[in-house]
A = this chain, B = another copy of it.
Amino acid sequence: MNYPFSDRVLALKPSAIREIFKYASDPSVISLSAGNPAPEAFPVREIAEISAKILKEHPIEALQYSVTEGYTPLRSHLTNYMKQRHGIGRSFDNILITSGAQQVMDLASKSLLNEGDTVLCESPSFIGSLNTFRSYRAHLRGVPMEPDGMSMEGLEQALKEEKRVKFIYTIPNFQNPTGITMSEAKRRRMYELAKKYGVLILEDNPYGDIRFAGKHVEAIKSLDEDGIVIYAGTFSKVISPGMRVGYAIAPQEIIQKMVVCKQGEDVHTNIWSQMVCYEFMAHCDFDTHLKHLRGIYRKKSKIATDAMDRCLMPKVTYHPIEGGLFFWCTLPSSVSMTDFCKQAVQRKVCVVPGSAFLTDENLPCSSFRINYTTPTDEKLVRGIEILGSLAADVIR
């Protein structure tokens, strides 16, 4: 049968660079291409204890259907925590527990985007979110990244030129893929511009808690007195991504629509995992846990930067990071980035070509993304050494 697919999925073309990822599952290939948090950071013992306790004391609650909005104690605890710690959430806001932060992007898109509406995003940006926006047939307009975040001149120009902007999508902390953190001044400016032009901000903050250097910058949502910011948080990087528990904090009217959409997508998020996240946050020492995580990431990122300084610099440069999971490495423009990534795979190292993160894959790009958190320390160093020897061979 010639299947009558929807226009939206027919428009989602398979990526030309996807073939590189096929090699990532080959066990002889060192994968620096994942987006996984460091497995040694998972609080395995605590999760096992909490889970056993839940299944002993509240088995029916953990296994029965639950409400779409999420587990009430988790919603209450998170609401208070985000307000007290991060100044996030006003009386007009509400919270929805989602199946990972990815679902926040989906539900926000479903609630807001008509075909042809525009989403302004950092260029480059997280491919997963861009594909979600594309699946609702949005027009993506990339705004260039600068070392302190999205270009505000570029943003205002885009806001003036684009007619049907629904929201600005940003990952302000340790952005995926660049590792860049937006300055406080730019966060204020982005908020003002959104307000001035009557558009929303979708603030995606998966990595904010993984800051191992520098000074914390408050979320854009903490400025939100006007109800124009949808904040996406997640437990994926601080407890476990396999659990798929994230959350949205947004004006009640928007949350209501997202709840209706979520009901039709998956009814509710795995309730057992919601209970584990609640118990972990409420009854383990969450601050000490975060401190422990930061120590792991600090140490591991140092191993990566030492190896890159030794093997890649100055032929291949990288953006220094203060947190998050990724390094953004840039080749001299004389070298083809795509060829470099393909040759890396032949030498058994997989990185992500930077063009994957562009609104248009065919735009020029000299960068690639390295993830330092998934491989063992030994494989991480070995992988960077191999990239270094490739750079020595192909860059003059």
Contact = CB atoms under 8 A, between A and B. Distances in A.
Interface of A: 1, 3-9, 12, 34-37, 39, 42, 44, 47-48, 51-52, 55-56, 59-66, 98-100, 102-103, 105-106, 110-114, 128, 131-132, 135-136, 166, 198, 200, 226-228, 236, 240-244, 251, 253-254, 257, 260-261, 263-273
Contacts of A66: 242
B111 A5 contact: yes
Nearest to A267: B102
Contacts of A42: 59-60, 63-64
B64 A36 contact: yes
A58 B204 CA distance: 30
B55 A242 contact: no
Given A4-B166, A243-B270, A270-B273, 19 more contacts: A3-B112, A4-B200, A6-B110, A7-B114, A9-B111, A9-B257, A12-B260, A37-B64, A44-B60, A47-B59, A61-B242, A62-B242, A100-B266, A100-B267, A102-B264, A106-B265, A242-B272, A243-B272, A244-B270
Contacts of A228: 1
Contact of A44 (B35, B47, B55, B257): B55
Nearest to A132: B264
Closest 9 A/B residue pairs (Cβ): A63-B240, A132-B264, A99-B266, A242-B271, A48-B55, A44-B59, A270-B270, A39-B60, A65-B241
